[in-house]
Amino acid sequence: MASLREEIESRRTFAIISHPDAGKTTLTEKLLLYGGAIQTAGSVKGKQSAKHAVSDWMDIEKQRGISVTSSVLQFNYQGKCINILDTPGHQDFSEDTYRTLMAADSAVMVIDAAKGVEAQTIKLFKVCTLRHIPIFTFINKMDREARDPFELMENIEEILGIKTYPMNWPISCGKDFKGVYDRNAKRVLAFESDGRANGVKMVEEVEAELGDARLDDLIGAANHEKLAEDIELLDGAAEEFDLDAVQHGELSPVFFGSALTNFGVEPFLKEFLRLTPTPLPRKDAQSGELVEPCSEQFSGFIFKIQANMNKNHRDRIAFLRICSGKFERGMEAFHVQEGKNIKLATGTSLMADDRAIVSEAYAGDIIGLFDPGIFSIGDTLCTGKKHVQFAGIPTFAPEHFARVTQVDTMKRKQFVKGMEQIAQEGAIQIFRDLGSGMEEVIVGVVGVLQLEVLEYRLKNEYNVDIRMQTLPYEHLRWVLNDPEELDIKHLDVTSDTRAIEDMKGNPLLLFGSPWSINWAEQHNEALKLSEFGNLT
Ligand code: G4P
């Protein structure tokens, strides 16, 4: 039987991020294919086919062919236990994605080879850099016309401000994409294309050294020559491979491939698993000490809550990232924020449509705990005499706002319950006018589609109809001043600024433009504003 340390050190937990359509879902699926978790590609998602992504659970997702919520996929590959935190690619669900990144130990950034870095890549990348986790780059869609690889490197470095190190190098692109050169092994991997397989099966590779005469046949003489030139250029370039810089998120190892045809997926997976860290220690916010993953004591934090995940299981699930030790079903743990021991009766791991009941899990794993309404995002659970408390998960400032009222005032109870539960999940943030009640709520979301999801869920899950009026604000700032010292009702602000409060009574300001934020800061010297709030 594997020891606690062996179990934990075999874990690799990461998230895949990308701008919508760059190929995140396709790459995830291919990793599952190579990992042996699925037998044929196409079972994770087929927008046009009858099959739906493992993470598609809500009708709205099916209607639109996008995945709304993040789920976790676990599989074993070459002795490693891999947890992929699947994040919705659609830009409107970025809040959830941001939070999921808090639970990952590294990130894989998928970039479309024809487009380079896109808007959503930049946002997600910034969140990764907040935590200094390693970021790997997979430049996808090399089977199509792609930008020059040197130019793509430059594009990443310039826009994202991270250094890059190509781990492999593409041999041509489009229909002529013949393989990659592995810079570490100094070998060419020529892909044996099988037109019939069309990416459903794994791809065969032939290995050869640069200069090997067989390569003229395998990849073409002109490609062979061009590759030799490129490699000489690359090897002469100043950037050295520096594992330490990779581990601190300062250098991104770059891989080229095509998730659709499977070209380059396996070389990527192998190298990625070699370089990506085992579960990272997390900081106890109180003592500032690091909690070691292999500690005998169990600890973890809730990073996501989801109600009514499945109509067959009307329930609420709290997703826990285990940070240290071992989880056993039925164990007791101390719920730090509530200040009491609770029994962790049921753990679920989510894969496909089934929910397997987990009886044990280790640091690095994500488990779903049934939540009778006791958990909030950012909560810590732990065992042992010395309690730890992980830092809260930042709340990202919403960018769209709407005033929401219930149509039928008799349904006030359901309305309040629905709004509060959905807000607790972190899908929306709720505010109100200073000193007002719950009859009218101001809702803030990161993506505008979340407003539709709110309306849909209130109707379907809580049987409440609402009226929604969008508000002309785009920026929200938390006011850090003590309300005793600064009364936000009497600030010198522009007419498109509005003072509101959250449900705990914390003061905030809504602004119509960045210009109004500047105005407020300049005309109210004492005013201290922050872009991030804290859920805990
Ligand atoms: P996302 O999760 O990042 O949003 O992207 P997704 O994997 O859904 O891929 C977006 C589209 O790009 C899909 O096509 C997918 O088949 C295609 N794609 C992904 N990887 C590659 C690749 O390596 N090469 C090429 N040529 N295409 C790729 P679609 O037509 O929008 O959807 P579908 O009907 O094929 O699912």
With respect to residue 389, please indicate whether it lies within any of the assigned structural domains: no
Same domain, 123 and 266: yes
Mean pLDDT of 496-508: 90
Ligand 1 atom at minimum distance from 258 CA = 23
Write out the residue range of the structural domain in which residue 417 sits: 395-533
State yes or no: pLDDT of 376 exceeds 70.
yes
DSSP 280: P
Same domain, 418 and 465: yes
Same domain, 378 and 400: no
Same domain, 489 and 417: yes
Ligand 1 atom at minimum distance from 66 CA = 4
Q: 24: Cβ below 6 Å to ligand 1?
A: yes
Mutate to test the pocket of ligand 1, among 17, 24, 26, 177 (most ligand atoms within 8 A of CB): 26
Same domain, 313 and 430: no
Same domain, 118 and 28: yes
DSSP secondary structure string for all residues of 468-497: EEEES--EEEEE-S-TTT--GGG----TTE
Distance 123 CA to ligand 1 centre (A): 21
Last residue of a domain, one of 318, 352, 382: 382
Which residue has 């380059």 as its token pair?
Answer: 264
Same domain, 365 and 469: no
Ligand 1 atom at minimum distance from 27 CA = 7
The model's confidence at residue 195, banded by pLDDT at 50, 70 and 90, is very low
How many structural domains comprise the chain? 3
State yes or no: pLDDT of 62 exceeds 80.
no
CA–CA dist 274, 182 (Å, integer):
14
Mean pLDDT of 436-464: 85
With respect to residue 56, please indicate whether it lies within any of the assigned structural domains: yes
Give residue 410's pLDDT: 86
The model's confidence at residue 45, banded by pLDDT at 50, 70 and 90, is very low
Distance 239 CA to ligand 1 centre (A): 32
Give residue 372's pLDDT: 79
With respect to residue 286, please indicate whether it lies within any of the assigned structural domains: no
Last residue of a domain, one of 230, 248, 280: 280
The model's confidence at residue 315, banded by pLDDT at 50, 70 and 90, is low
Mean pLDDT of 368-385: 88
Helices (H), 35-141: 59-64, 94-101, 119-131
**In CATH, what number is assigned to the domain containing residue 331?**
2.40.30.10
**In CATH, what number is assigned to the domain containing residue 170?**
3.40.50.300
With respect to residue 287, please indicate whether it lies within any of the assigned structural domains: no
- 18 assigned to a ligand binding site: yes
Q: What is the ipTM of this complex?
A: 0.97
Most confident region among 211-225, 281-295, 391-405 by mean pLDDT: 281-295
Give residue 373's pLDDT: 78
Same domain, 132 and 258: yes
Q: 21: Cβ below 6 Å to ligand 1?
A: yes
Same domain, 401 and 471: yes
**In CATH, what number is assigned to the domain containing residue 438?**
3.30.70.3280
Give residue 4's pLDDT: 95
With respect to residue 387, please indicate whether it lies within any of the assigned structural domains: no
Q: 86: Cβ below 6 Å to ligand 1?
A: no
With respect to residue 85, please indicate whether it lies within any of the assigned structural domains: yes
Helix (H) / strand (E) containing 6:
helix 4-9
- 489 assigned to a ligand binding site: no
Give residue 446's pLDDT: 81
Mean pLDDT of 366-384: 88
Same domain, 235 and 322: no
Given a contact cutoff of 8 angstroms between Cβ atoms, the answer to whether 127 and 98 are in contact is yes
What's the chain's average pLDDT? Answer: 84
CA–CA dist 246, 225 (Å, integer):
31
Given a contact cutoff of 8 angstroms between Cβ atoms, the answer to whether 500 and 434 are in contact is yes
State yes or no: pLDDT of 59 exceeds 60.
no
Distance 26 CA to ligand 1 centre (A): 6
- 13 assigned to a ligand binding site: no
- The 10 Å Cβ neighbour count of residue 532 is 11
Lowest mean pLDDT among 154-163, 238-247, 491-500: 238-247
CA–CA dist 483, 208 (Å, integer):
69
Last residue of a domain, one of 246, 280, 314: 280
Lowest mean pLDDT among 58-72, 211-225, 299-313, 453-467: 58-72
**Which residues are registered as beta bridge partners of 517?**
none
With respect to residue 285, please indicate whether it lies within any of the assigned structural domains: no
With respect to residue 186, please indicate whether it lies within any of the assigned structural domains: yes
CA–CA dist 461, 453 (Å, integer):
11
- 371 assigned to a ligand binding site: no
Question: Which candidate, 118, 213, 113, places its Cα nearest to that of 172?
Answer: 113
Distance 21 CA to ligand 1 centre (A): 6
- 88 assigned to a ligand binding site: yes
Ligand 1 atom at minimum distance from 18 CA = 3
State yes or no: pLDDT of 115 exceeds 70.
yes
State yes or no: pLDDT of 344 exceeds 60.
yes
Same domain, 257 and 305: no
Question: 100 or 249: whose pLDDT is higher?
Answer: 249
DSSP secondary structure string for all residues of 412-436: HHHHHHHHHHHHHTTSSEEEEETT-
The token pair at 50 is 């009858």
Same domain, 238 and 302: no
Q: 123: Cβ below 6 Å to ligand 1?
A: no
The model's confidence at residue 216, banded by pLDDT at 50, 70 and 90, is confident
Q: Whose Cα sits closest to atom 4 in ligand 1?
A: 21
The token pair at 16 is 């895949």
Q: 259: Cβ below 6 Å to ligand 1?
A: yes
